[in-house]
Every structure is written in structure tokens, then in C-alpha cells.
Amino acid sequence: MSITAREKPWALIMAAGHGSRMAAALGGVRKQMLCWRERPLYWHSALAMSRSACVGGLVFVFPEDCLRQEEERLRQSRKTGDFGLPWLVTAGGSRRQDSVRRGLAALPPHTRKVLVHDAARPFVSAGLIRRVCEALEQTMAVIPAVPVTDTIKTAAGGMVRATLVRENLLAAQTPQGFETGLLSQAHIYAQEHDITVTDDAALMEEMGHDVHVITGEHENVKITHLRDLALLAAGQSSRPCVGMGQDVHRYGPGRPMVLGGVRISDGPQVVAHSDGDVLLHALMDALLGCAGLGDIGQHFPDNNARFENISSSVLLSEVLDMTRRAGIHPTHADLTIVAQTPRIGPRREEIRNNIARLLNLPALCVNLKAGTEEGLGFIGRNEGIKAYAAVTALAEARTMDESFYF
Ligand code: MG
């Protein structure tokens, strides 16, 4: 049986929690305001509601002190991607149930059914929302839940008092669906009788109403502890990035020529503090560029004795350690040497293979080009050599860096 738009349930997106322990650890950012895939967590739940095609509208319940700010953010988000649903905002209260009560009061009149969803469950699927809505067509109250896998015990004073029968235990999730009138009555009753609960279904139970259960989804976890943020990171797709680098070395009495870690015994000598490997220097700058880590001059200054005549292959391994720590995984390097002499062609494959080895990439992911400058400039006068590098990499989405926050 299909439901018309007018009869579709509205959803309360509960984003009014203070989450003080986690907010303290996140520099004051409330978890529901955390940014995941460039949107606040609560936005993802709202989008899932929209995709389910069975929700009629949304009420966002925010903390009073950031209500206008979040309303403005939602308004701005319409420019880049709308929910395609009517929505409004309202201020929550001190306890979760106070916030739900206020959310219910903000619903348009004659909203017969309502879903209540925790904004800290951003992985809820449109399919689960749809199944809750379908079950709600036949019932007054329905919740999704998943079987408990741990053995649950009650304890007091450091002693186990009982072991609960696991087969009877379920972990309740949201969205929970209700007849709006019944849920509103239950919340008013709880307020009058000073009853505190952790979910809305418990209030319905308190009132003696049947609460139906449908199968929830294990992915529909609630972001509660700091460690749960790793789940968000795992859900983030990595982002491609490109770094470019270039370097020049003068010819003259100095170091025997090394290009890409390969000794070029018939090449001119180069003036350098390190081994003067112009190609690896350009490559390192490109890698640092992917990671936003500046350039090799900052990390390996040429007035530091440690780097005198040091093999650039060693420096490259240090750069790769830095970029790996920054979550950068190189996937491709395109390199160009510009020099009048020596001729690169005969050594091209050897240099390419060596760089592939140093980067731990297949040789087909490294390209080496060579050119002259038609006799022009310092290259044409055979006074030096230059190199360019472009590195393509995948950057892991990070959990705890500032880009994670709004
Ligand atoms: Mg250099």
C-alpha cells in the first residue's frame, strides 16, 4: 500500500546533544556538528531520510545556542545540494527527551506519524528508514534493533549478579517510528511524572503500548566515543592529489653525476651540498607537495653538515616516511630531465626502474622523459641540468586533523 505525500511521516533529526566528553576532546566541537564528507553529521541522516522517499519532512532539533547558526548552514547547503524535503529547525532542551518533546511540538499540525532519529547515527541507510516507515503503516510504534553478540551481565559492587539470556537481548537503534499523538502523550506523561528514559520506545513501554521490532543494521552505529570516529575515517573515500617539483644544479667541479639514484659516470660533475641528484630532488619536492609539507630546503637545509654528500636515495626514504605519516600514497610519477649533456636515452630504463623501486611502485607507474633546450639558455650552454617531477597520490581521509572539523 503506497502512502501519499501528505500522509508520509516526518522525521525529527536529534542533534541537540551536548556530548560534553567528546566535545572536550574535539576542542569544543559537538559530535553531531563534525564534518564527514564535507557535511555535518546530522546532514547525512537527513539525506538518508530524503533518499528513502517515504519521509514527508524534517525537523532538526539543535542546541539553543547554535540554532540560528545551523539554520543558516542548512539554508546555505541548499545551494549545493538540497534534501528535496520541507524542513524546519527548533531548539532542544537539556535532556534528550526534552529535545524530542520540543521537536514533536514543532511538527506541522496533523502529522500522524513521526520518526525519531539520532543525528549521531550518520550511517543509517535509506532502506532501513523505508522498512521502519512500512512497519509504521501497520503499527503504532516500531524500532529497529540488532542482536547482541556479547554476553551481558548485571553487576554491583564489583560482583556479577546475573547473566542475562543473550537470545532475548537486542540493541535498539534509531530511527524509531511512532504515532505522533501517542508519542506526544507519552512525553507529556514522562514530564509530569519525572520519568527519564534513553529512548522513545521506553516511554511507549512505560505507557503499556506494544512496540514492534524490525531488524536493524549493524552499520547503523552511534558515534559515541572518540574511538568511533575511526568509523567515519574508514567511510571516507581517499582524495586524489598532485604535487609538482623542480630542481636545477650547476655543472662544475663537485660531485659525480647521479640521476634518479643511478651513477652517470660519463656525465659532467655537479655542484651540490648533497649528492646533487637533481631528479630525486624534484621528485621529493613533488611528494612533499602532495602532503602539503613544504619543500626539501625546509627539511634538509644545505647548511646542515648531516646532509653533506648524503645520498639523495636516503633523503627520499625520509621524505616517503613523512608523506606516509601524512597519509599520502603515491600512485604515479612523471619525471622530466632537461640537459644538453649527458644523453639520457641509454640510461632511461635503468633510472626509471630504480625510481620505481625507491617509490615501491610498478615501473609502468613511473615515466621518465628527457629533453634539451635547443641550445638556449644555461642548459643550452651546458652549464647545468634541471628536472621536473609530477607525482599523483591518494590522500587518506584523516580523522583528527583540522580538515575534519567544520
Ligand atoms: Mg637540488
Query: What are the tens digits of pLDDT across the range 316-353?
Result: 989 998 998 898 999 999 999 999 999 999 999 999 99
CA 276 / ligand 1 centre spacing (Å): 6
Separation of alpha carbons 146 and 116, rounded Å: 17
pLDDT value for 44: 87
pLDDT of residue 33: 78
What's 92's DSSP letter? Answer: -
Q: pLDDT of 192-240, one tens digit each?
A: 999 999 899 999 998 999 999 999 999 899 988 777 777 776 666 678 9
Between the CA of 52 and the centroid of ligand 1 the distance, in Å, is 57
Amino acid at 85: L
Ligand 1 geometric centre to CA of 297 (Å): 9
Give φ, ψ of 399 to 5 degrees. Answer: -80, -45
- 103 pLDDT exceeds 90? yes
Would you say 142 and 183 are in contact if contact means Cβ atoms under 8 Å apart?
A: no
pLDDT at site 405 = 36
Check if the beta carbon of residue 404 is closer than 8 Å to that of residue 342.
Answer: no
d(CA 70, CA 83): 15
DSSP code, position 208: T
Single-letter code of the amino acid located at 335: L
The lowest-confidence range among 22-36, 132-146, 234-248, 263-277 is: 22-36
Q: What separation in Å is there between the alpha carbon of 247 and the centre of ligand 1?
A: 5
pLDDT score at 79: 61
402 has pLDDT over 60: no
Residue 6: per-residue pLDDT: 59
C-beta separation of 369 from 337 below 8 A: yes
Cα(260) to centroid of ligand 1, in Å?
A: 12
Query: Does residue 50 carry a pLDDT above 90?
Result: no
Is the pTM value of this prediction over 0.85? no
pLDDT at position 39 is 78
Helix (H) or strand (E) holding 359, with range, is helix 348-359
- CA–CA separation, 197 and 297 (whole Å): 60
**Ligand 1 mean position, distance from CA 293 (Å):** 17
User: Is residue 214 within 8 Å of 132, Cβ to Cβ?
Assistant: yes
Q: How far is the CA of 387 from the centre of ligand 1 (A)?
A: 9
* Cell, residue 195: 520519568
Q: Give 277 Cα–ligand 1 centroid separation in angstroms.
A: 7
The answer, yes or no, to whether residue 91 has pLDDT greater than 70, is yes
CA distance 150 to 213: 20
What was the pLDDT predicted at 118?
A: 95
As residues whose CB is below 5 A from the ion ligand 1, the structure lists 247, 281
Digit-coded pLDDT (tens) for 355-377: 998 998 889 999 999 999 999 99
- Residue keyed to cell 553529521: 41
Alpha-carbon distance of 287 to 294, in angstroms, equals 10
Question: One-letter amino acid identity for 180?
Answer: T
